[in-house]
Amino acid sequence: MILILIQMTAPYGPYIRDKDFFWYVRAKRVRIFFYVKRKGEVYKMEMTGSIKETRAKIKEWRRQGLSVGLVPTMGYLHEGHKSLIVKAVKENDRVVVSDFVNPIQFGANEDLSTYPRDIEADRNLCEAAGADLVFYPAVEEMYQKDFSTFVETERVSAELCGKSRPTHFRGVCTVVLKLFHIVSPDRAYFGQKDAQQLAVIRRMARDLDLDIEIVGCPIIREADGLAKSSRNTYLSEMERKAALILSKAVLAGEKMIADGERDASAVIAHMRSILESEPLAKIDYVELTDADSIEKIQTVKGRVLGAVAVFIGTTRLIDNFIVEA
Ligand code: PAF
C-alpha cells in the first residue's frame, strides 16, 4: 500500500477533519491513497484563559466571514461532550469549547471543591474532536471581586432541580450569558442530559432576544445504559452498579407512555417504584413536565419530559427522556 499526501493549497495539519477526505485508486493489488485537504488550512487548536485573546480570535474569524459554534462545558470531558463538539464542528466553520467550573452555580453544600478537573485530558479530547479554541479562564478572569449582576429565569427554573438547587440556574444563566457575550457564537450546543438547563437557556435566549441558535443534543450513554456524566467518577464499584437504576426507571417510564399510558401520576408511580427497589438510591424527584415550560402535567400530551434526580450515596445523578405524545 502506498500513501500519497496531496496538499491542495497548504501543508497538512495534524488531524483529519470531516472537511478533508481520503481518495484512492486501485491498480491490481496496489492501492494508492490520496489525502486531500479541501480547505487548504492547517488545523491547530489553541488554548487561552484570556477573554481579550478569545475576543481577538473571534473578531479575526468574523473578519474572514466564518461562522462560530460554542460548546460550554465545566471540563472533565467525556464522550457526551465530545458528541457536542463533533456536531458543532460539522455545523460551524470554527468551534470554541469553554472549560470553566463555574462557582456561582454550586450551592453551599455542593461539590465545587471536589469537582473533577483534568485540563490536559480535556485538551486532547477537544483536539481529537476538531475544536479550534479552548477557553479556560480562571475564576478571577470571569468574576471581578465585586461582581454583582445575575440573570434569572423564573418559572422554568422553579421545578425539578430548581427546587433542591435554588440558586443553580441563576448561576448557569449568568455564566452562559457571559460566555455568549465573550464568544458571540452563531450556535451554542447543550446536552439533553441536563434537560431543564436546556429549557432554561432556550427561555433566556428567547426572552432576551439573543441571536444565537440553541442546539440540543441527545443523551450519550455507557454500554449498560448509564447516562455519561463527569460525576459518574465519584461512584464506587457498588454505587456504579446501583446507578443503573436511573436509566432503568427512565426507560420504563418512556415505554409505559409508548404503550399508551396517559395518566402522568401512573407513570411517575411506576418509575418511583423501580427507583425504590434499589437500596442505595435516595430519590430527590421523579416528575413528568411539559418539556419546554418545565411545568408539571397531569396528562401526557405534547412534548413531555420525564425526569429523575437520585442520590447514589452522596452523588446526585440525573436522567430523563423526552417524548412527543
Ligand atoms: O452543563 C454544564 O456543564 C454547565 O452547567 C454549563 C452550561 C457549562 C454552565 O456552567
Instruction: Give the DSSP letter string of 222-272.
Output: -TTSPBP-GGGGG--HHHHHHTHHHHHHHHHHHHHHHTT--BHHHHHHHHH
CA 74 / ligand 1 centre spacing (Å): 6
pLDDT of residue 16: 46
Q: What is the C-alpha separation between 253 and 321, in angstroms, rounded?
A: 8
Q: Give Dmax (Cα) for the chain.
A: 72
195 SS3 class: helix
Ligand 1, closest atom to CA 72?
8
Strands (E), the chain: 2-6, 21-27, 30-36, 46-48, 68-73, 94-99, 133-135, 187-191, 213-217, 281-290, 303-312, 315-324
Ligand 1, closest atom to CA 102?
10
4 SS3 class: strand
In this structure, the dihedral spanned by the alpha carbons of residues 276, 279, 284 and 289, taken in order and rounded to 10 degrees, is -30
**In 3D, which of 196, 192, 140 has the Cα closest to residue 168?**
196
- Judge whether 98 and 136 are in contact, CB under 8 Å: yes
Ligand 1, closest atom to CA 191?
1
Q: What is the residue-level pLDDT of the chain in tens, covering all 325 positions?
A: 555 655 444 434 444 454 566 667 777 777 777 766 555 567 899 999 999 999 999 999 999 999 999 999 999 999 999 999 999 999 999 999 999 999 999 999 999 999 999 999 999 999 999 999 999 999 999 999 999 999 999 999 999 999 999 999 999 999 999 999 999 999 999 999 999 999 999 999 999 999 999 999 999 999 999 999 999 999 999 999 999 999 999 999 999 999 999 999 999 999 999 999 999 999 999 999 999 999 999 999 999 999 999 999 999 999 999 999 9
Q: What is the C-alpha separation between 60 and 184, in angstroms, rounded?
A: 13
Reply yes or no on whether 181 is catalytic.
no
Ligand 1, closest atom to CA 98?
8
Whether the CB of 194 sits within 6 Å of ligand 1? yes
CA atoms within 13 A on the CB side of 78: 15
CA 204 / ligand 1 centre spacing (Å): 14
Task: Specify the DSSP element, H or E, that contains 170.
Answer: helix 168-183
Whether the CB of 73 sits within 6 Å of ligand 1? yes
Pocket test for ligand 1, best of 197, 202, 220, 318 (most atoms within 8 A of CB): 197
Catalytic position from the list 81, 168, 181, 270: 81
CA 303 / ligand 1 centre spacing (Å): 24
Q: What is the C-alpha separation between 215 and 229, in angstroms, rounded?
A: 19
Which residues are registered as beta bridge partners of 289? 296, 305
- Angle CA 282–295–306, to nearest 5: 50
| Torsion angles phi and psi, residue 316, rounded to 5 | -95, 120
CA 27 / ligand 1 centre spacing (Å): 52
CA 39 / ligand 1 centre spacing (Å): 32
